[in-house]
Structure 1
Amino acid sequence: MRTAWTLGARKDLEHLRLRAWAHMLGFWATSPPSPVATPPPGALRDARAEWRRAQAAEATENGPDTTLVLAHWVYAGTGLTDAEAWLAETLEPALGTEGESTHG
């Protein structure tokens, strides 16, 4: 609000009517939230968790107490890619991490 009010005093920004907006921001900043428009955070969290449980149960056609275990593994390889190896070779260690003094 303070920034809008301060900038609103500048002649080059007069056309933006920032001081009018500062009053609008002040209204919204000081008015209490409407309980109708804003449900409590706990209610939103609970509703979302229930929705996610229902969505997961529908997708798997299992109950909410079912544990799915994925046991398919694929060998991805070892070591670094060519780009990762180049990056590792070109980076210098940070001062003080490889035994050098931290006091210049």
Structure 2
Amino acid sequence: MTNTRNAAETIALQSLAWLVGNEELLGVFMGTTGASQEDMLTAAHDPEFLGSMLDFILMDDNWVIECCDANKLPYEKLYEARQSLPGGGNVHWT
């Protein structure tokens, strides 16, 4: 595992902690994914789950801003972290 991957997982875990602390958004996440709190605890060490959770936050600019502000991260860091986790590569349709 590279330092980039470790850094991405750290950012994703910080983002997960922010998500868990946001009751309203957590409900949306759990309703959308069907994940229970127990599922989230179990999956917190799974890079694929962390990537999917970042995909969810990245769906809304306001969520990105709130998450990054809470974690004192530059706004582009969530996207960069997502790119370093499984399934995060850029998709080119052409």
Which of the five TM-score ranges fits, normalised by the shorter chain?
A: under 0.3
Kindly name which structure, 1 or 2, has the bigger radius of gyration based on alpha carbons.
1
Q: TM-score, normalised by structure 1?
A: 0.19
Q: TM-score, normalised by structure 2?
A: 0.20
Q: Which has the higher contact order (CA 8 A, sep 6+)?
A: 2
